[in-house]
Amino acid sequence: MKFTATLFALLSTLSLIETSNADTRVTMGGGVYHLGSDRDELNEANYFLGLSHGPAFGATFVNSHGSRSVAAGVVPRMGDSLEFSAYIGGVTGYGSPDWLRCLHVDLCLFAAPSVSWWVREDLAVTGVLFGGALMYGLTVSW
């Protein structure tokens, strides 16, 4: 819980950044496609919920190993109807896997590329590549 509180404090601090023209987004989904050879052993229903405002984001999801994860950090974006971004921050809930750089046994750093296709001004289909998992869902913006 200590690390979850730390990530929440990071997100709260980042939300104070001046973002007068920033939009607020909610991304939700549950589908995952694993790219590795051990796909049959991994959770394919990674239900997730993310919230961002300007460059700051926070998210929670059930990871590929069935544990609850919490992530927070920044997300630089570029593009319009086809938007490219990268989620950069810290995540809990994985232990110390080989593919994440961990600061502590349950606080790891990550960078996850993402693409969103805005089908309307306020609705996008979003995909995020997190390690060997391609997570996909819908993003609503206002």
> pLDDT at residue 98 above 60?
yes
Q: What does the pLDDT average to over 4-10?
A: 57
Tokens standing for residue 69: 């994860």
Question: Contact 28/138 with Cβ under 8 angstroms?
Answer: yes
Distance CA 131, CA 142 (A): 29
Supply the CATH number for residue 54's domain: 2.40.160
Q: Bridge-partner residues for 65, per DSSP?
A: none
Backbone angles phi, psi at 11, to 5 degrees: -60, -40
Query: Which DSSP string do the residues of 33-89 spell out, in sequence order?
Result: EE-STTGGGS-SEEEEEEEEETTEEEEEEE-TTS-EEEEEEE--EEESSEEEEEEEE
pLDDT of residue 10: 56
Count of domains observed in the chain: 1
Of 125, 19, 131, residue with least CA distance to 75: 19
pTM over 0.85: no
Domain hosting residue 137, numbered range: 2-141
pLDDT of residue 41: 72
> pLDDT at residue 113 above 90?
yes
pLDDT of residue 125: 97
> pLDDT at residue 108 above 90?
no
Distance CA 96, CA 138 (A): 29
Q: By mean pLDDT, which of 61-65, 68-72, 96-100, 132-136 is the weakest? A: 96-100
> pLDDT at residue 2 above 90?
no
Backbone angles phi, psi at 7, to 5 degrees: -65, -40
3-state helix, strand, coil in the chain (%, to 5): 10, 60, 30
pLDDT digit string, tens, across residues 23-75: 899 999 978 888 876 666 777 777 889 999 989 999 998 888 788 899 999 99
- With a CB cutoff of 8 Å and minimum separation 6, the contacts of 49 are 26, 27, 28, 59, 60, 61
